[in-house]
Chain A
């Protein structure tokens, strides 16, 4: 048998195994360690390809892949059949994830801007440049990372900024994608992250998509739903959205609504439930209290009686909601009927449509409210499930607390007890951690783009694993001005040239994915681990090493914050013999498992908020474990599928049924919030008559820096476009494929029109994807943000369309 025949046999063996497993809906056992090789690749051992597990690099689903390596290069990818999340399948991005490493223009050496050019420098020069900036103005440095940081990377950066610099000036780009989900969870249950999990998708009778398009954004999860239908199961899919998407094509009910009226829809459901006494009174009386917003937005709000709650909802009659939202009263009644049926199991899914919203916190709360009021909570297939877009938005941004006010494990810098715990864990002097939160993302970048003399006190930003030049809203206000200010210095660690590196003063080449060890946490509280499998190109190095190296240089320069209570280096590590290992010297970085050391230090924080993590070795043995992971009397570590549920969550007391043990009011009750609907900050008008919504597409991930370098994906979706309703196009005289300019009060982009394309926006609406760096739609988007979560709204702003002609320039 030649090698090609062997590959074909391998492909057939894998496809056959996946086909049979999916046909039977087999779920890999999660209790026992999933050690050893995936059976789909086990047969291929002996060929010169080495296989190992890793979670996919892209979205928050957390699919596991099997990575085939030969000769120091990734040569094959297979879905991991032992992975409970994806059961051997991957989406089109996942199957090509290995190619994301091999674009021709990888960054391979540190580059310093001199004049209009970037010139190569050594790592020592780069590290020293950063250290000297920090020494000159320690409070002027901010670190801007992402939900693509691995858990150890995020933890190292958080410790560096809060435990070392003592400044709290660190934020993740997750502020732009799921901050409103965080404030929604915190103010409803008193603690962040979903109580439910992806298993719900296998049990739900009804799946409701709230402004969500999982067919493109979370395709493997969506396939779990569609798969059940193929097997003959009855699953009702309800799509509540502002434009038709691929997901709509599978939905039995499509409820289009006018932008920004989703709060009214949720209120309409709540009103129908309480006004007809069809809410779950037993559940509510036992487990819930009512709240509304006070004069200032807060996580606590003001108490409300049930009667007051009902009275405030009274005006949201089906007819009133229909006038506001466009959703017919009969469809609203249909939704209420679904929730009123206690026997039916209902899952709500949402992501950016709800979170990227100036009322994002409120809308998150209202989705929880609908489930709590109707008692659809805590059973398999019955609960609210917030989705995330990045592989470790939950694991790193949320759980490690890499935000302006967070500490690891859900702790807060504003809480003296939490600060003391962190200072003890890090062995830094009491008082090292600042009690004042840093700046949230929009504020951080606004200050970076403001002259120092005018209050722009952030003078250096170190960007890691993200691309704010393409993803920050209102780029001309938040990003570009800094590039014209002489004393502002932008450092960017990345793997490819991006819109941000092009504007950077210092570029650091990073290792990515399986070029380093890593851990991530997906949207269902599942913590995952992988080992380094190939070397990074050139001098590219892991982000964790970069921050440790800068910290060590600061230590050598005498920065007091880089010393712990004992006078030792903040990131001191020892080997099994107790000898110090100089991990800041890259030649010795892998002499110990730095990830394991950082993770074991981090996981001691996880028990405070009952987000218990298992020892590192457990994650090596599993395809992820969902926290809290608690050791039983038999010494085995067990994950938790459903939080707050007796028999599932080990922290729920016997006989309690459901216990919200981190409740806002410390009374074990979740809060059901009331929120009035409000007008959008920038509705269309006579000058800017269209709504603009932005988002992603199946083939590309976020700003496209990786997926646009994968030939198959780039070819399948080569360029950004603007979706327009055909009737609007006809009225404007615009043809399919014709270039138009989309213009807001902030900026404009020119791009081709796509009519009858993948999505179908209603009259007066446009959609533009975010992935194309040649079309910077963030020139156009709005930086108005939710008052509590500080998350900007990328889904709604007012624009106009300017028609262009090939000969005479522009015409309207």
Chain B
């Protein structure tokens, strides 16, 4: 079960920030830390698999008002099988167009 420490950089308007933080806090896969100056928000993510972890990061990066997602910590001590079960694939434009934004 991979655990990651992320640093999100949030857009400046306060109402947007508050909405983003509220959305993140409501997500049980995340633990949200204290907002730092310049819109830096520490967040810890948990996932059952590497695939889910990647999907979660992608989801966060797509949130309106999230400017940057940086990783600060990665723990993979619980992962025995480093090989992904999913086949390598590339998101086609058509698929992207239908993904939630």
Question: Are A76 and B73 within 8 A (Cβ)?
Answer: yes
Question: Are A715 and B88 within 8 A (Cβ)?
Answer: yes
Q: CA A15 – CA B57 in complex, angstroms?
A: 15
**Given A20-B37, A76-B76, A721-B90: A11 and B83 interface contact (C-beta under 8 Å):** no
Chain A neighbourhood of B1, CB < 8 A: 4
Q: Mark B5-25, 1 if CB is under 8 A from A, else 0.
A: 111010000000000000000
Q: CA A346 – CA B90 in complex, angstroms?
A: 38
Is A736 close to B, CB under 8 A? yes
Question: Are B74 and A76 within 8 A (Cβ)?
Answer: yes
Partner of A4, one of B3, B41, B82: B3
Q: CA A231 – CA B88 in complex, angstroms?
A: 38
Question: Are A88 and B92 within 8 A (Cβ)?
Answer: no
Is B101 close to A, CB under 8 A? no
Chain A neighbourhood of B51, CB < 8 A: 715
Q: Mark A1-24, 1 if CB is under 8 A from B, else 0.
A: 000100110111011111110111
Chain A contacts with B in 712-759, Cβ cutoff 8 A = 712, 714-719, 721, 736-737, 752, 754-756
Q: CA A89 – CA B40 in complex, angstroms?
A: 13
**Given A223-B68, A712-B50: A230 and B38 interface contact (C-beta under 8 Å):** yes
Q: CA A724 – CA B94 in complex, angstroms?
A: 17
Q: CA A19 – CA B32 in complex, angstroms?
A: 12
Q: Mark B54-89, 1 if CB is under 8 A from A, else 0.
A: 100000000000011011111111100011101011
Is A79 close to B, CB under 8 A? yes
Is A95 close to B, CB under 8 A? yes
Partner of B40, one of A14, A20, A710, A755: A20
Chain A neighbourhood of B71, CB < 8 A: 79, 89-90, 92, 95
Return the chain B residue nearest A219 by Cβ. Answer: B70
Question: Are B3 and A102 within 8 A (Cβ)?
Answer: no
Partner of B88, one of A49, A75, A710, A718: A718
Chain B neighbourhood of A22, CB < 8 A: 7, 38, 40, 70
Q: CA A718 – CA B51 in complex, angstroms?
A: 13
Q: CA A718 – CA B33 in complex, angstroms?
A: 33
In the complex, what's the smallest C-beta–C-beta distance from A327 to chain B, in angstroms?
30
Partner of B73, one of A10, A70, A104, A719: A10
Interface size, A (range)? 35 or more
Chain A neighbourhood of B4, CB < 8 A: 11
Chain A neighbourhood of B41, CB < 8 A: 19
Question: Are B33 and A719 within 8 A (Cβ)?
Answer: no
Interface size, B (range)? 35 or more
In the complex, what's the smallest C-beta–C-beta distance from A65 to chain B, in angstroms?
10
Question: Are B7 and A18 within 8 A (Cβ)?
Answer: yes
Q: Identify the interface centre among B7, B38, B89: most chain A CB within 10 Å of its CB.
A: B7
Return the chain A residue nearest B83 by Cβ. Answer: A711
Chain A neighbourhood of B76, CB < 8 A: 75-76, 98-99
Q: Mark B29-55, 1 if CB is under 8 A from A, else 0.
A: 001011011111111101000110110
Partner of B5, one of A14, A70, A103, A718: A14
Question: Are B36 and A23 within 8 A (Cβ)?
Answer: yes
Q: Identify the interface centre among B34, B42, B50, B68: most chain A CB within 10 Å of its CB.
A: B42
Q: Mark A68-86, 1 if CB is under 8 A from B, else 0.
A: 1010000111110000000
Chain A neighbourhood of B98, CB < 8 A: none
Q: Identify the interface centre among A8, A11, A231: most chain B CB within 10 Å of its CB.
A: A11
Q: Mark A574-589, 1 if CB is under 8 A from B, else 0.
A: 0000000000000000
Chain A neighbourhood of B33, CB < 8 A: 12, 15-16, 19
Question: Are B68 and A15 within 8 A (Cβ)?
Answer: no
Chain A neighbourhood of B74, CB < 8 A: 76-78, 95-96, 98
Q: CA A89 – CA B8 in complex, angstroms?
A: 12
Chain B neighbourhood of A68, CB < 8 A: 75, 77
In the complex, what's the smallest C-beta–C-beta distance from B92 to chain A, in angstroms?
5
Chain B neighbourhood of A77, CB < 8 A: 73-74
Question: Are A711 and B68 within 8 A (Cβ)?
Answer: no
Is B28 close to A, CB under 8 A? no
Q: CA A24 – CA B39 in complex, angstroms?
A: 11
Question: Are B77 and A70 within 8 A (Cβ)?
Answer: yes
Q: CA A710 – CA B43 in complex, angstroms?
A: 23
Q: CA A319 – CA B54 in complex, angstroms?
A: 49
Is A226 close to B, CB under 8 A? yes
Q: Identify the interface centre among A17, A78, A99, A715: most chain B CB within 10 Å of its CB.
A: A715
Partner of A15, one of B39, B73, B92, B93: B73
In the complex, what's the smallest C-beta–C-beta distance from B25 to chain A, in angstroms?
14
Chain B neighbourhood of A92, CB < 8 A: 71
| A-B pair number, CB within 8 angstroms | 153
Q: CA A11 – CA B54 in complex, angstroms?
A: 17
**Given A711-B83, A736-B92: A11 and B75 interface contact (C-beta under 8 Å):** yes
Q: CA A676 – CA B76 in complex, angstroms?
A: 54
Q: CA A721 – CA B93 in complex, angstroms?
A: 14
Question: Are A89 and B72 within 8 A (Cβ)?
Answer: yes
**Given A14-B5, A231-B38: A8 and B53 interface contact (C-beta under 8 Å):** no
Q: CA A736 – CA B90 in complex, angstroms?
A: 11
Return the chain A residue nearest B71 by Cβ. Answer: A95
Question: Are B3 and A79 within 8 A (Cβ)?
Answer: no
Question: Are B75 and A76 within 8 A (Cβ)?
Answer: yes
Q: CA A711 – CA B34 in complex, angstroms?
A: 31
Chain B neighbourhood of A18, CB < 8 A: 5, 7, 42, 70, 72
**Given A7-B77, A23-B38, A711-B83: A15 and B67 interface contact (C-beta under 8 Å):** no
In the complex, what's the smallest C-beta–C-beta distance from A665 to chain B, in angstroms?
47
**Given A99-B82, A736-B93: A15 and B75 interface contact (C-beta under 8 Å):** no
Q: CA A571 – CA B42 in complex, angstroms?
A: 50
Q: CA A384 – CA B41 in complex, angstroms?
A: 34
Q: CA A717 – CA B54 in complex, angstroms?
A: 12
Q: CA A718 – CA B6 in complex, angstroms?
A: 24
**Given A226-B68, A711-B83: A718 and B42 interface contact (C-beta under 8 Å):** no
Return the chain B residue nearest A71 by Cβ. Answer: B77
Return the chain B residue nearest A20 by Cβ. Answer: B36
Chain B neighbourhood of A14, CB < 8 A: 5, 72-73
Q: CA A99 – CA B79 in complex, angstroms?
A: 11
Chain B neighbourhood of A40, CB < 8 A: 72-73
Question: Are B40 and A19 within 8 A (Cβ)?
Answer: yes
Chain B neighbourhood of A96, CB < 8 A: 74
Question: Are B88 and A15 within 8 A (Cβ)?
Answer: no
Question: Are A24 and B37 within 8 A (Cβ)?
Answer: yes
Q: CA A182 – CA B30 in complex, angstroms?
A: 48
Chain A neighbourhood of B39, CB < 8 A: 230
Chain A neighbourhood of B78, CB < 8 A: 4
Question: Are B7 and A15 within 8 A (Cβ)?
Answer: yes
Q: CA A712 – CA B76 in complex, angstroms?
A: 12
Q: Identify the interface centre among A95, A231, A736: most chain B CB within 10 Å of its CB.
A: A95
Question: Are B43 and A15 within 8 A (Cβ)?
Answer: yes
26 A–B contacts from the bound complex (CB under 8 Å) = A10-B5, A11-B5, A11-B44, A12-B33, A14-B72, A16-B42, A18-B70, A19-B41, A20-B40, A22-B38, A40-B73, A49-B77, A78-B73, A79-B71, A79-B73, A89-B7, A99-B76, A104-B83, A230-B9, A230-B67, A712-B50, A715-B84, A715-B89, A716-B54, A736-B93, A755-B93
The 8 closest A-B pairs by CB, nearest first: A718-B88, A11-B5, A75-B77, A15-B5, A15-B42, A19-B40, A23-B37, A711-B84
**A interface list, Cβ under 8 A from B:** 4, 7-8, 10-12, 14-20, 22-24, 40, 49, 68, 70, 75-79, 88-90, 92, 95-96, 98-99, 102-104, 223, 226, 230-231, 710-712, 714-719, 721, 736-737, 752, 754-756
> Apart from A20-B36, A78-B74, A736-B92, what are 9 other A-B pairs with CB-CB below 8 Å?
A8-B3, A14-B72, A22-B7, A40-B72, A49-B77, A90-B71, A99-B82, A223-B68, A712-B84
